[in-house]
Amino acid sequence: MRFSSLFGPTAGEFAYIIQLWPVLNQMIAPAQGLSFEPVPPSNLDLSELGRVALTGDFDAISLYSYQQQTESSFNTNGSQSLVTQRPNGDFATTVTSDGYIKSMCPFVMKDGTLAGVIVGGNFTSLGDQQAQGVAMYDPSSQKITPLPGLNGTVDVVWCDQETNTVYVGGDFKGGNSTNAIAWVGMAGWSDLPFAGFNGPVNQIRGAPNGNMIFAGSFTGLGNATAPTRKDQQSINLSSANITAESSTTENGFSDPNNIVCKTSGQDGVGNTWLLEDGTPGFWRANLSFGFQPTKLRLWNTHQDGRGTETFRFTAFPLNGIMNFTFIDPATGRNATCDARCPLSNDTKVPYQDFRFVNNVGMSSFQIDISAWYGRGGGFNGIELFQDDIYAFAVSDLNEPACVNHDFPSNATSTGPWQVTPSGQSNSIYLTANLTGTKTGPSDVSVTFRPDLQQAGNYSVTIYTPGCIQDQSCDRRGIVNVTWSLSSETQPGQAQQSTIYQTNNYDKYDQLYFGPVDANSDSFRPSVTLRPAADQKEGTSIVAQRVRFVLTNSTGGLNGLFEFDPNQATIDEDFSKSAINKAGMSLDPGAMLNGLAILNGVIYAGGNLSAPGITNIFSINGSNATALPGAGLNAEVTTLFAFEDLLFVAGNFTDTVNSTSPGMNNIVIFNSTSQAWQTVGAGVNGRVDTIVPLDLNITTNTPETCIAFSGIFDQINAFDSNPDISVSGFAVWVPTQQNWQQNLATQSMAIDGYLSASTNVTGSTPLLSGSISSQDINAGDAVSLTSDPLRINSLGVKIQPERPSGSSKRKRAVSGVSGQNTTGAVTGLFYNSGNTNITILGGHFTATASNGSTVNNLVFLNSTGTITGVENGLDTESVFLSLATQDSVLYAGGTVTGKVNNADVNGLILYDLVQANYAFPQPPPLGGDNVAVNAITTRPNSRQVYVGGSFESAGSLPCPAVCMFENQQWSQPGSELSGSVSTFAWQGSSKLLAGGNLTVSGSATSLASYDAKKAEWSALDDAANQVPGPVTALAPANNDGSQFWIAGKNTNGSAFLMKYDGSFTSIGQAFGEQTTIRGLSMMQLSENHDSNDLVGRGMVLLITGQINLPNFGNASAALFNGTNFSPFLLSTSRNNPGSISQLFSEKVLSFKNSGGHMAVGLVVLIALACALGAIFLLVVAGVLIERYRRKNEGYVPAPTSYFDKTSNMGRIPPEHLFGRLQHQGAPQL
């Protein structure tokens, strides 16, 4: 390509410069990646705790590592963002738009510098800049530069470095062009020589020969004229077969036909159709023709206070739920809906219009009513509209007589016409057997009259059903079609066409392309079909429908166009291009959605057909070539080339010839083997986009994965892999030949919707869409390790909860403020002898190692085997607390059911060694909404204390706290009542309880039990100082005399306090909606600055749903006595997640970091010091004595003598007896 050839003097007459670009040189900069600032390390030291784990309600979790990390979920309001990857591999939003981002490309100039990334979509703003459909993004500075001048939607951008040109396509107007235009170098927008297309452009690609390929829904070059009135043709429901389910039995209101052709909105007998009171149901219309509706109009009933509140519209035979846009009558704003579309109950709103988001063909539809006002649902009227302008040969298919149009579409016929079933065709049609007299051109005819409300250039097409379906191929004849489309004769314009009707399958013939007048009192356009003269006896002809499409173009194309930038003028002989010719060989009305080039071969997909070709084909050389199986059986939405594979996505389920089962909406075409390959078994709904992205799957080296986004909620089961619930997003890992969600390896969690991607030189790939991501994909429980600090999946396959999950599974637990009731709430490590088990309790569903389903309580042993308890417990049970004594697990919560044929309530006992329920079970707890929230064993005893919300244990009155020992319950003291949330021992004989309590009739949030005295007492000043019930408690020293508490104030705000003889409040440290579920003191590897609240070598871990000012939501935070810092971030079902608690294998032993030591420890240290001093004195005395003796001449006595008598003679007598004269002890 050469810049000068396209925009030099020869082509200058075509170039309409819309906007100059004076700041281009300032924008061009080398590509640089975004800067992500790491946060300081937490310095947690877990070495003394053994194994450590966290439980909660989350499906993805991350350590807080970079300042840009958040817990934000992906947007579902239609806005999308530009997304890049952080150094740790997860994803970060850079700038956000107010709409969809559909395409991107790096605008690299001839000299290799990056001007920016061109971003196209249907947005009106990007970042903080107003931008209509297209803008430029600088990855290094994140600066947005709008490219004004277009009005509409940009569907595709293609950057050509050789010519400094960006080709832009979509559904828009700009300058003198429609749907296609170019941004050139520093000059700005410029019309292409052909001024665009008469229909939307969906794809642009650079061809192997250097030309540009445009694909879309166009039939010619030039501008298109949109109808001034949208949805102008009414679809005839009067001829439909109308049925309903759950209709009322009330006379005059049960007939579903009551609401057809009723546009007054008047309630009453014969005008209203009602459902049976309090019962969902549906209204269904089965039509005898196909249509593509664009607008649904509904009149709600107000009969006796009834009315439809929500509905959904399902199209058949697609069996797809349609998406709508509508104006909310209450707010006047645009809104969207799909499965639960709302209808107003305001009597001042006569009707509501719902516009279809997608152009979908259907022949029947069903409206399901799921909610209603008053006693039941119903309607007063219904209308369906389309943009397509058709006139049908069968009069019953044309616009109904009740339509409020001056000139509704109709058809008149003469001769022996009979209605023929549609078979494989779009609609029923007329067949005339030319037998006998009066069967000539003057005797047999059908005249089509469309509902044309606007004059303009139209493409007029006539449809001919195939002959195989009605077995008439040997009888089909020839027809002459004439038309009268303007009140003035068009010079040189043919008014007749001869059509051979011997086609095997449905075909379309363009009759006319040019100006057509609108309907008026003086003239009405028409098309007339007659048999050709002189045909043999027994010949049959058919008449079905005629279509009028408003255009303004030169015509002759069909969804594909090849453009040579080196040519200043366009050769209107399109057949010279193999690409143009391939499009022209398709049946009229082809819609091309996807283009890909693989090993020099062009692949095109969409909603298209031709003999032997359906929805996808290839162009290699000069021919359009069918793919195996004659193509795919429904629309292709997108293509993506990867290595030698072509990924294909759409709304199909198989090839046309049904040769490859398992091709549900996604399939691969292998260009090497020329065969289809399945992608697992696909997904259960339409796929709209295919986007590559880099993920760490099995190693620390990223690999390319393929992300699919669309309207589906399940990855289909295949081989040994089960169904997986998703939210319209799935990731295929080519190296593993499996979905990321199926892999046993630990990998990143990512969810949302990806619409496009592009590579940027010197930076990570840039993505667009709306996604959320965390470090790992793990459900409700993870382990935590240090050196280095990281989180890991425990390997328990907790299933993600579907959005439509039972409300019972989310019920609140009475009496436990802020307690988590979904996910894994609590956990415990059991390690004794040869038994090593990790136990998780809560409210969840998991998959056991044998493939069975386990609920709410799960065991993971040291070999990785996952098991649960035997049947008997209600699946709605919630486990809130766990403890062990010997090998017996005490598991409490809102637990009900039967164990060993006996009722249980609140608590069960389970033998971990025997892997079975213990026998006998404790007598059930009693009271309203029984919940066991805390269980603890008294040190050095057999006593197990159970706290919660209950009134009795068996027949024993035992409110709030009960003690179990020797297979029987006993009441510890008689002063306590209320609800206990948490326990902590202060030594071996004092138990501290937190909750919503009463002691001897006085309310308090903290109470202490003296096991020796068997009595409860309220903690000093707790009633006045603690602002609400305590739900979390953690010791702050070894004997528990100091501790942290948390809960919720009576006004709903969270509080955090420390007690060390008196209470110290942290103040208003948290934002609204904070719920603290757990507290734990943790040891640090490096000291922080000294303060009065937290020792220098310690930090307080706070878990729950924590809202930190100036940051946002976190699932766990660290408090060093001065500052809070985020620690863990999580998400759950596209909402912020939560962490319930940390549990560890060992108990932390507090180090002396400036606080008071325990008395026992002080005594031991003093004793050691005394013994050490005595030892040193003794050693010093021995050394001094040895020194003295040495100075006085003492030498060691000999131990052997060879001549004793001779030695004795050498000793002087005075030396032998001289010492006897001295009295007293010798002096030292």
When pLDDT is averaged across residues 740-757 and rounded to a whole number, the result is: 85
* pLDDT for position 489: 58
CA distances from 230 to 297, 389, 456, 638 (A): 13, 11, 15, 27
More confident: 514 or 702: 702
Residue 884 neighbours by CB under 8 Å, 6+ apart = 828, 830, 890, 912, 937
Mean pLDDT value across the chain? 85
* pLDDT for position 761: 83
Q: Is the pLDDT of residue 2 over 80?
A: no
* pLDDT for position 9: 30
Beta-bridge partners for 594: 605
* pLDDT for position 62: 87
User: pLDDT confidence of 780, banded at 50, 70, 90?
Assistant: confident
When pLDDT is averaged across residues 120-132 and rounded to a whole number, the result is: 84
Contact predicate 82/766, CB 8 Å: yes
Q: Which two tokens stand for residue 277?
A: 């009171």
For 725-738, write each residue's pLDDT tens digit. 888 999 999 999 99
Q: Which of 191, 201, 150 is nearest to 174 (CA)?
A: 150
For 904-919, write each residue's pLDDT tens digit. 999 999 999 999 999 9
Contacts of range 1216-1225, beta carbons closer than 8 Å, 24 or more positions apart: none
Q: Which two tokens stand for residue 757?
A: 């991607």
* pLDDT for position 696: 82
CA distances from 185 to 65, 167, 188, 894, 944 (A): 41, 11, 7, 69, 79
* pLDDT for position 947: 97
* pLDDT for position 813: 38
More confident: 667 or 863: 667
In our burial notation (b when 16+ CB lie closer than 10 A, e otherwise), range 580-594 reads: bbbbbbbbbbbbbbb
When pLDDT is averaged across residues 470-487 and rounded to a whole number, the result is: 90
pLDDT above 70 covers a percentage of the chain that reads 88
User: pLDDT confidence of 1162, banded at 50, 70, 90?
Assistant: low
* pLDDT for position 1: 31
* pLDDT for position 498: 84
Q: Is the pLDDT of residue 494 over 70?
A: no
How far is C-alpha 497 from the geometric centre of its chain's CA atoms? 54
Q: Is the pLDDT of residue 817 over 50?
A: no
Q: Is the pLDDT of residue 227 over 60?
A: no
Residue 367 neighbours by CB under 8 Å, 6+ apart = 282, 283, 284, 311, 312, 313, 314, 382
Q: Which of 90-104, 173-187, 546-560, 997-1011 has the lowest mean pLDDT?
A: 546-560
Q: Is the pLDDT of residue 1223 over 50?
A: no
* pLDDT for position 19: 33
User: pLDDT confidence of 1210, banded at 50, 70, 90?
Assistant: very low
Gap between the Cα atoms of 771 and 81, Å rounded: 9
Residue 682 neighbours by CB under 8 Å, 6+ apart = 662, 663, 664, 665, 666, 667, 716
For 1117-1128, write each residue's pLDDT tens digit. 999 999 999 999
CB atoms within 10 A of CB 595: 26
* pLDDT for position 702: 83
For 601-635, write each residue's pLDDT tens digit. 999 999 999 988 999 999 987 778 899 999 999 99
pTM over 0.85: no
User: pLDDT confidence of 218, banded at 50, 70, 90?
Assistant: confident
Q: Is the pLDDT of residue 1204 over 50?
A: no
Helix (H) or strand (E) holding 512: strand 507-516
For 647-694, write each residue's pLDDT tens digit. 999 999 999 998 778 899 999 999 999 999 999 999 999 999 999 998
User: pLDDT confidence of 1220, banded at 50, 70, 90?
Assistant: very low
Matching residue, tokens 């528990």: 1040
Helix %, strand %, coil % of the chain (to 5):
10, 45, 45
When pLDDT is averaged across residues 874-882 and rounded to a whole number, the result is: 95
CA distances from 235 to 319, 405, 407 (A): 20, 13, 14
* pLDDT for position 1174: 84
Gap between the Cα atoms of 1074 and 1061, Å rounded: 27
